Amino acid sequence: MTGVWAAPGRVNIIGEHTDYNGGLSLPIAIPQRVLCTLTARQDAAIHVASQQHGQNWIGLPLDRLADSDIGGWARYPFGVAHEFLKRGHNIGGMDLRLDGNVPVGAGLSSSAAVECAVAVAIRDTFAPGVSDFELIDITHRAENDFVGAPTGVLDQSASMLCTAGHALILDAATGVHADVPFDLAAARLELVVIDTGTPHDHATGEYATRRRQCEEAAHLLGVHSLGALTDASAVDLLTDPVLRARARHVATENARVREVVAILRAGSDPRSIGPILTRGHISLSEDFAVSTAQLDAAAASAREAGAYGARMTGGGFGGSVIALADAGSSAQIGKAVAQRFSAHGWTGPQVFVVEPSDGARRVR
């Protein structure tokens, strides 16, 4: 018994570092995806292999997953299987072969794409009663608890729930979500991704530090999470300038998500969201301090080359910038960014165009 499932990466249009703060975000799924071929085994073991990591098989008995200290890429699919078992789902032995084209370390959620492709494959093969919403929780818990990356629920939600031609408005506090029209082609626009080639790793310290700072700020302000703030001026009560800046980003970013959604739902020209994206980048760079010199340079160069707005996407500390521009602009934007990178002696960026795509599903 063999099948093939796919799950996409994502870019976040606006709403960064808000999900673990119980706030709002607006991602799209992208055409780049991870494929998972699942073949059932007769024994109670799980074997994983990746086209991008040497194609060598790594195997474990299912009942040894909890004790496994295997690191690297294999920990993501093992973590998903472990989470199914923890919840009492009767899954059998399997071979999982992974392949895909979501750039790793680019802030486009390659890890969530792996997790969701594996999760839908296991669900459809062994546990068909599991809902998409439980799959989001399974994959999120696998990343948090098994892998040890303290991320929010945005990436898995986008990979599971997004639909072509739309962005997804997601309220992380309640799980409430809805499609928002985002037909770039109809508006003669394109969304350009600029992968700066500076990889990040959310399983290491700085991401966790930002999360702790947000929790401390929320405690001092007397709210259960910063997403509950309805008035951004409330952050002025914080005397610590770092905590005040972190909280200000979350409060103003939630407002930016609402502003972008209102524009898109009203059918206004999507070009008008460009300056909001730019304000989001400035907030991430100055208040949340998760940008880098390369991300700042890429965003600035894209705007100078004609983009209506540009911002880093993903958790930061490396990764990618997105730029909203007229259709056919990616070459001139890529050239402008490459020239600036060359002047600094940095490795040249990878530039490509994405469009709002469908979420995880079986493909064969």
**Which residues participate in catalysis according to the annotation?**
155
The total number of residues written for the chain in this structure: 364
Beta-carbon contacts of residue 164 (< 8 Å; ≥ 6 apart): 355, 356, 357, 358
Tokens of 214: 């947000």
Q: Which two tokens stand for residue 26?
A: 């607006």
220: CB partners within 8 A, 6+ apart: 237, 238, 243
**CA torsion 193→194→196→200, rounded to 10°?**
-20
Selection from 305, 299, 308 nearest residue 268 by Cα = 308
The strand pairing partners of 40, in sequence order, are: 94
Q: Which helix (H) or strand (E) holds 118?
A: helix 110-126
Distance CA 310, CA 291 (A): 13
Residue 292: phi and psi, rounded to 5, are -135, 170
CA separation for the pair 15, 192 (Å, rounded): 18
* Residue 200 near residue 206, CB atoms below 8 Å: no
Cα separation, 55 vs 77, in Å, equals 15
Whole-number Å distance between alpha carbons of 351 and 20? 29
